């Protein structure tokens, strides 16, 4: 635990710059549901224990989160970057930790009332789910634009504009969404196309 804490006290300079760049672009109206905060904290508790949870809460600025309340995305960014630093040593690095958070976020959202509605509308079709995913995001966060361009029935490019989370995080989100619909051999690769923009090449069997 001590070694983990020492590694997670300070973000590496390039990560600190990325965090502050993203935070600086956020406004008071840019919010995310509390369930995403709680999902990250739950993962941190499993891997890092209560002291790691308290460390993350300290940077986020709240003592607890209510699942369906809205909280500033700037706080979620600080929480997520700190949590990725905490969990990175056990998950293979900073980006794999963020990807794991994206998987957890999808699991938590699909268990909610809005997520269950999205699942019902998708009818076990990954393509239909991805086509409707923009409405799921609207139920979960207040910011951003999302869409998909298909290259086949089982492949396409998903675009996100003005979304504050990193490509690694959304790689986890999109992979978990496809797998929840029964997709196998899922491949998702994201790349940054602007300060808050990215595109994701995805395919499945």
Is residue 201 pLDDT above 60, yes or no? yes
What would the pLDDT profile of 100-157 be if each residue is shown by its tens digit?
A: 999 999 999 999 999 999 999 999 999 999 999 999 999 999 999 999 999 999 999 9
What would the pLDDT profile of 25-69 be if each residue is shown by its tens digit?
A: 999 999 999 999 999 999 999 988 999 999 999 999 999 999 999
**Largest separation between any pair of C-alpha atoms in the chain:** 49
Pick left, alpha or beta for residue 96 (phi over 0 → left; psi -120 to 50 → alpha; otherwise beta).
alpha
Is residue 196 pLDDT above 60, yes or no? yes
Is residue 2 pLDDT above 70, yes or no? no
Domain 110-203 falls under CATH 3.90.1520.10: yes
Q: Looking at residue 174, what is its pLDDT?
A: 97
Q: Looking at residue 7, what is its pLDDT?
A: 41
CA dist., res. 140 & res. 100, Å (int) = 18
What would the pLDDT profile of 9-37 be if each residue is shown by its tens digit?
A: 578 899 999 999 999 999 999 999 999 99
Q: Looking at residue 9, what is its pLDDT?
A: 53
| pTM of full prediction above 0.85 | yes
Q: Is the CB of residue 174 less than 8 Å from the CB of residue 202?
A: yes
What would the pLDDT profile of 162-179 be if each residue is shown by its tens digit?
A: 999 999 999 999 999 999
- Give the residue extent of every domain in the chain: 2-94, 110-203
Q: Is the CB of residue 164 less than 8 Å from the CB of residue 77?
A: yes
């Amino acid at each position: 635990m001590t070694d983990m804490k020492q590694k997670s006290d300070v973000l590496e300079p390039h990560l600190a710059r990325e965090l502050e760049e993203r935070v600086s672009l956020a406004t008071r109206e840019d919010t995310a549901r509390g369930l995403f905060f709680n999902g990250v904290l739950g993962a941190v508790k499993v891997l890092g224990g209560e002291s790691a949870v308290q460390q993350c809460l300290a940077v986020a600025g709240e003592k607890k989160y209510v699942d369906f309340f809205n909280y500033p995305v700037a706080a979620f960014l600080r929480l997520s970057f700190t949590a990725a630093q905490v969990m990175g040593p056990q998950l293979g690095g900073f980006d794999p930790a963020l990807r794991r958070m994206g998987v957890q976020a999808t699991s938590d959202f699909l268990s909610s009332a809005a997520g269950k509605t999205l699942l019902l509308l998708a009818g076990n079709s990954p393509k239909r789910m991805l086509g409707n995913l923009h409405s799921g995001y609207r139920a979960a966060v207040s910011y951003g634009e999302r869409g998909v361009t298909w290259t086949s029935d089982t492949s396409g490019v998903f675009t996100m504009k003005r979304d504050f989370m990193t490509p690694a995080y959304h790689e986890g989100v999109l992979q978990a969404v496809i797998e929840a619909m029964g997709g196998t051999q899922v491949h998702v690769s994201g790349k940054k196309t602007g300060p808050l923009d990215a595109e994701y090449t995805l395919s499945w069997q």
